[in-house]
Chains A and B, each alone.
Chain A
Amino acid sequence: MADKAQARSESESPIHIMPRSTLSTEANKTGSWRYLRPRYEEKTAPCSAACPAGEDIGKIEMLTAQGLFKEAWETILRENPFPGICGRVCFHPCEGACNRGEFDDPIAIHSLERFLADTAERYDLKPLMERLPGRPEKVAIAGAGPSGLAAAWFLAQLGYTCDVFEASAEAGGILRWGIPLYRLPLAALQREVAQVEAQGVRIHTGRPVTADLLRDLENAYQAVYLACGHGRTTALRVPGEETDGVGDGLQFLERVRRGETPDVKGVSAVIGGGNTAVDVARTIVRLGGEALILYRRRRQDMPAFGDEVQMALDEGVGLRELVAPERIEKDGDRVLVTLRQMRIAGEEGGRGRIEPDGDRLSRVTVDRLFKATGAEAAEGWYNPPAAGKGIVALSHCALSIRDGGPALAWGGDLANDVKSVVHAVASGKQAAIALDTLFREGPDSILLKLEACTVGNGPPLSMEIHMGGERRLRNRHVVAYGEINTDYFRYTPRMTQPRLVREERARSFAEIDLRVSGNIAMREAERCFNCGLCNQCDNCHLFCPDLAVIRGKDGQGRHINYDYCKGCGLCVVECPRNAMTLEEEGR
């Protein structure tokens, strides 16, 4: 008996038993009460499901908040070799999906991505990338633009030797020749191109991919990936298009990137509403001219990034909405453009559907005109074939698999509905995974393998999952805002991306977005909910009434002691970020 005490002296009578407890209650395994069982189950953050490259954004922000910048940067590189580029030019669909946006403001993911790349550059960090053992197959890539370079990057991780053939004297494609310096400085591009080469990728410049070269490549390589891009401006199909004084927007940008200073005296009109049109207009301003954008829909319908449009207007670029070119004529030294007034007839897929506003026309006389209404492949045969036997049409690329011949793949602007850098990266990844599967297991496994490494509901893919990393254990359920326990967060304003003051911007091609300091970045990253991921906040351990949540050594990792867990579910509800799941016992 716990309380027995022998008499300590002859005069003391013993107490044989009395109400006094000394044993612990641990023999009572209260886990037997349970009919619901909690478990740790990480899920998918909406940002990573919205990022075409499937970057593990929730994890990236978690590492950044902890000050583990190199680890965060490497986490990006697993899924996207271009954080420095995307951190400057991406249209950040991630921020639109950010759950925090429903609480106060979305996380400044875009700025943080750039911060991490800047940090890597500042400290000259070299990434430690996981690579699979070398494979015998060799892949040739046509075009050293974002898609081609991304494909090379991912194939290198998978163990393949790649040769990239680039027509121009320098790698980069639209990154080198299209996007202006004030958005993407040359050094940032060159650094990330060098990073790809450091993986063992060989880039051969001055080697345009002609039909002849393609034949040679098909003989020497087991696969050829065509990523030549949309290098040619589409025609206006308007009378007078050939008039002297009408220029090609893309060519104009390339000339400026080559160091030329084309004449932009007077007023230049730019027809179009995409990023190219805005880039052309803002470049003109920096060269000393005046720019006027003529767009057939409304400002809010412009495909160009809203920020860019606003900055263009701030820099003095003019904008005329709801005007479509009718006819172009020479007017002495100048160019006369007849414009048809348009009006909105309804909304369609988020954009206004337009129709001519009766017979209303107007005229404008300018010194020159630039076309920037869209682009297409420079050569017709660059384009992927239509669907048919042996053709696998994927979300971001197309594959042609032939018996007794190398595989052909098309990606980037050639195969994407949305023409953006991050979609180009997505193409490269999808093609790399598809080719890798083709080589290791055969064509019938391609769709299965792509499905297996899908993030959320797709189409983004994850290289980490494909390579068997921890991310494969996550549930693909995309965490909704309603599943976040917002009691644990306070309204905190989003960081402000520092920029050159307005008066400074248009004076030169100096980069407008400025660097961000580490403490600002960490504070911003701390705002991230880390949807679906465990960030060691310890709420589960803290609130368990039965002490059934056990912490691992150094406070890292937790597990549940099912001997005592009564299945109350508190841990699951108090997990701010839905990294736990409650399910029926015995399932």
Chain B
Amino acid sequence: MKRVLEGSQAVAEAVRLARVQVVSAYPITPQTHIVEFLSEYCASGTMNARFLRVESEHSCMAALIGAQSTGVRTFTATSGQGLALMHELLHWASGARLPIVMAEVNRALAPGWNIWVDQTDSLAQRDTGWIQFYCEDSQEVVDTTLQAYRLAESVALPVMVVLDAFFLSHTYEPVDVPEQEQVDRFLPPYEARFRLDTAAPCSFGPLVPPAVYMEMRHDIAQAMEKALSTFREIEDEYAGIFGRRYGAVEAVCCDDAEIVLVTSGTITSTARSVLEDLRGRGEKAGLLKIKLFRPFPVDDVRRALGGAKKIAVIDRNFSFGASGIFAQELRAALCNVPGHAPVFGYVAGIGGRDVTPAVLEDIYWKTKNSAAPERESVWIGLQEVSHGS
């Protein structure tokens, strides 16, 4: 049923439909609305779940590790500082092979308190063994969250569904909310492979010596790889029931594009209209949206960018001492492809600064007018700062 929902509520609806049984919650702007909606659902009985009002994000994840290990479906949401605080336990969740799903609202990291959109927080967790999806709009958020449970439970790895602060979380959009009985067909009840069970006692997470730890980590690596094909199969099934699919990446006009813009999150929506405009003016421009970031869809990316002459990556994040992170991942994906196009890295929209069509146009023309990238990352729209202020 089509409803106009705030982005946060879209998340909450999906969580409700997924019949999540334990939710842990700690407030942090701008994810707080998600847990507030869930709190109301639980209180009113719309959702049959235990709502744990824990005392920090670290405890949020700890509680879910406990609950999931006992054999129930779980959920939490966080942002920025909260995600950073959870870091230790993100590693724990994947190491323990727990199919936890979490909504992550991209928010800039302090100091300098900044509640607005910035992707550095979620990307800084890219090594933790969590599958990461970057969503463009509220519909995609609902669909991706439901698929996340199927995917997580299939490969036994946790999944992060990432959405932009305010531009997605606090924006109202029309959303087709699936019916419960459709979702039940797509997502059966959770059956844990291993759980805490007095009838069959075992110990989770004991001391593991070097002799076997490597094999356990390799198993995680293999599961991550499998997630690529498993995601495709799940999307096929979902499309069959609900009529929507997104792909690990979405290539727009890339077949004959000379310059391809690579974006993620809500910047993609802006880029679509800029692309239409450029094409209208005869520019051979293309757009590649990256949805699945972990595991990185190397094959999809190589295929989409096979014909490009130049690639312009827009990063709303930065890895100090290196470069924008999507640009890094792209360079890594392409480096073994002979004769691949050069990658121009651009950093824009940091700390919630607007990425307008003008910014994207600027990036396109800079790319077109440069023979080669002048440096790893070019920061767009920087202002003059006087020293010693």
A496 adjacent to chain B (CB < 8 Å) = no
Taken together as a complex, chains A and B put the C-alpha atoms of A8 and B190 apart, in Å, by: 13
Residues of chain B with a CB closer than 8 A to A18's CB: 96-97, 194, 216, 219
B156 adjacent to chain A (CB < 8 Å) = yes
A501 adjacent to chain B (CB < 8 Å) = no
Taken together as a complex, chains A and B put the C-alpha atoms of A11 and B147 apart, in Å, by: 13
Q: Contact check, B156 vs A21: say whether CB atoms are below 8 A apart.
A: no
Residues of chain A with a CB closer than 8 A to B230's CB: 11, 13
Residues of chain A with a CB closer than 8 A to B191's CB: 8
CB contact between A17 and one of B194, B204, B206, B219 (< 8 Å): that residue: B219
Query: Which one of A2, A11, A21 has the highest number of Cβ atoms from chain B below 10 Å of its Cβ?
Result: A11
Taken together as a complex, chains A and B put the C-alpha atoms of A13 and B230 apart, in Å, by: 9
A3 adjacent to chain B (CB < 8 Å) = yes
B382 adjacent to chain A (CB < 8 Å) = no
Residues of chain A with a CB closer than 8 A to B223's CB: 13, 15
Q: Contact check, B156 vs A20: say whether CB atoms are below 8 A apart.
A: no
Known: A19-B208, A19-B216. A13 touches B97 (CB 8 A): no
Q: Contact check, B96 vs A21: say whether CB atoms are below 8 A apart.
A: no
Over the window 17-30 of chain A, the binary record of Cβ atoms lying under 8 Å from chain B Cβ atoms (1 yes, 0 no) is 11111100000000
| Smallest CB gap from B200: residue in A | A22
Taken together as a complex, chains A and B put the C-alpha atoms of A8 and B193 apart, in Å, by: 9
Q: Contact check, B96 vs A16: say whether CB atoms are below 8 A apart.
A: no
B110 adjacent to chain A (CB < 8 Å) = no
Taken together as a complex, chains A and B put the C-alpha atoms of A11 and B234 apart, in Å, by: 9
Q: Distance (Å) between the CB of B207 and the closest chain A CB?
A: 9
Taken together as a complex, chains A and B put the C-alpha atoms of A15 and B219 apart, in Å, by: 7
Q: Contact check, B233 vs A11: say whether CB atoms are below 8 A apart.
A: yes
Q: Contact check, A15 vs B193: say whether CB atoms are below 8 A apart.
A: yes
| Smallest CB gap from B191: residue in A | A8
B128 adjacent to chain A (CB < 8 Å) = no
Q: Contact check, A11 vs B154: say whether CB atoms are below 8 A apart.
A: yes
A12 adjacent to chain B (CB < 8 Å) = yes
B202 adjacent to chain A (CB < 8 Å) = yes
Q: Contact check, B203 vs A20: say whether CB atoms are below 8 A apart.
A: yes
Over the window 80-117 of chain B, the binary record of Cβ atoms lying under 8 Å from chain A Cβ atoms (1 yes, 0 no) is 00000000000000011100000000000000000000
Q: Distance (Å) between the CB of A10 and the closest chain B CB?
A: 9
Q: Distance (Å) between the CB of A524 and the closest chain B CB?
A: 48
Q: Contact check, B202 vs A5: say whether CB atoms are below 8 A apart.
A: no
Residues of chain B with a CB closer than 8 A to A17's CB: 212, 215-216, 219
Taken together as a complex, chains A and B put the C-alpha atoms of A16 and B150 apart, in Å, by: 20
Q: Contact check, B203 vs A13: say whether CB atoms are below 8 A apart.
A: no
B353 adjacent to chain A (CB < 8 Å) = no
Chain B 143-188 residues near chain A, CB threshold 8 A: 150, 153-156
Residues of chain A with a CB closer than 8 A to B194's CB: 3, 5, 18, 20
Taken together as a complex, chains A and B put the C-alpha atoms of A310 and B191 apart, in Å, by: 87
Q: Contact check, A19 vs B205: say whether CB atoms are below 8 A apart.
A: yes
Over the window 232-247 of chain A, the binary record of Cβ atoms lying under 8 Å from chain B Cβ atoms (1 yes, 0 no) is 0000000000000000
Known: A5-B194, A20-B194, A21-B203. A15 touches B154 (CB 8 A): no
Known: A5-B193, A8-B193, A11-B154. A16 touches B202 (CB 8 A): no
Q: Contact check, A21 vs B202: say whether CB atoms are below 8 A apart.
A: yes
Q: Contact check, A12 vs B154: say whether CB atoms are below 8 A apart.
A: yes
Q: Distance (Å) between the CB of A92 and the closest chain B CB?
A: 58
Residues of chain B with a CB closer than 8 A to A12's CB: 153-154, 193
B3 adjacent to chain A (CB < 8 Å) = no
Known: A19-B205, A20-B203, A21-B202. A13 touches B155 (CB 8 A): yes
Chain B 119-160 residues near chain A, CB threshold 8 A: 150, 153-156
Residues of chain A with a CB closer than 8 A to B154's CB: 11-13
B302 adjacent to chain A (CB < 8 Å) = no
Q: Distance (Å) between the CB of A260 and the closest chain B CB?
A: 86
B53 adjacent to chain A (CB < 8 Å) = no
Residues of chain B with a CB closer than 8 A to A8's CB: 191, 193
Q: Distance (Å) between the CB of A234 and the closest chain B CB?
A: 84
B279 adjacent to chain A (CB < 8 Å) = no
B366 adjacent to chain A (CB < 8 Å) = no
Query: Which one of A12, A19, A21 has the highest number of Cβ atoms from chain B below 10 Å of its Cβ?
Result: A19
Taken together as a complex, chains A and B put the C-alpha atoms of A19 and B219 apart, in Å, by: 11
Residues of chain A with a CB closer than 8 A to B96's CB: 18-19
B226 adjacent to chain A (CB < 8 Å) = yes
Known: A5-B193, A11-B154, A11-B233. A16 touches B205 (CB 8 A): no
Residues of chain B with a CB closer than 8 A to A16's CB: 215, 219, 222
| Smallest CB gap from B213: residue in A | A19
Q: Distance (Å) between the CB of A8 and the closest chain B CB?
A: 7
Q: Distance (Å) between the CB of B211 and the closest chain A CB?
A: 11
Q: Distance (Å) between the CB of B111 and the closest chain A CB?
A: 36
Q: Distance (Å) between the CB of A16 and the closest chain B CB?
A: 5
Over the window 197-240 of chain B, the binary record of Cβ atoms lying under 8 Å from chain A Cβ atoms (1 yes, 0 no) is 00000111110100010011001001100100010010000000
Taken together as a complex, chains A and B put the C-alpha atoms of A17 and B206 apart, in Å, by: 13
Residues of chain A with a CB closer than 8 A to B226's CB: 13
Chain A 1-50 residues near chain B, CB threshold 8 A: 2-3, 5, 8, 11-13, 15-22
Q: Contact check, A15 vs B233: say whether CB atoms are below 8 A apart.
A: no
Q: Distance (Å) between the CB of A3 and the closest chain B CB?
A: 7
Residues of chain A with a CB closer than 8 A to B193's CB: 5, 8, 12, 15
Known: A5-B193, A8-B193, A13-B226. A19 touches B204 (CB 8 A): yes
Q: Distance (Å) between the CB of A124 and the closest chain B CB?
A: 58
Q: Contact check, B97 vs A21: say whether CB atoms are below 8 A apart.
A: no
Residues of chain A with a CB closer than 8 A to B212's CB: 17
Taken together as a complex, chains A and B put the C-alpha atoms of A474 and B152 apart, in Å, by: 68
Q: Contact check, B219 vs A21: say whether CB atoms are below 8 A apart.
A: no
| Smallest CB gap from A11: residue in B | B154
Q: Distance (Å) between the CB of A4 and the closest chain B CB?
A: 10
Q: Contact check, A21 vs B206: say whether CB atoms are below 8 A apart.
A: yes
Q: Distance (Å) between the CB of B310 and the closest chain A CB?
A: 38
Q: Contact check, B216 vs A13: say whether CB atoms are below 8 A apart.
A: no
Residues of chain B with a CB closer than 8 A to A21's CB: 202-203, 206
Taken together as a complex, chains A and B put the C-alpha atoms of A8 and B206 apart, in Å, by: 25
Taken together as a complex, chains A and B put the C-alpha atoms of A18 and B129 apart, in Å, by: 14
Query: Which one of A3, A12, A20 has the highest number of Cβ atoms from chain B below 10 Å of its Cβ?
Result: A20
16 contacts between A and B (CB under 8 A): A2-B202, A5-B193, A5-B194, A8-B191, A13-B154, A15-B193, A15-B219, A16-B219, A17-B219, A18-B194, A18-B216, A19-B204, A19-B208, A19-B216, A20-B202, A22-B202
The 6 closest A-B pairs by CB, nearest first: A21-B203, A21-B206, A22-B202, A13-B155, A13-B226, A5-B193
Further pairs besides A11-B154, A11-B230, A16-B215: 18, Cβ < 8 Å: A5-B194, A8-B191, A8-B193, A12-B193, A15-B193, A16-B219, A16-B222, A17-B212, A18-B97, A19-B96, A19-B204, A19-B208, A20-B194, A20-B202, A20-B203, A20-B205, A22-B202, A22-B203
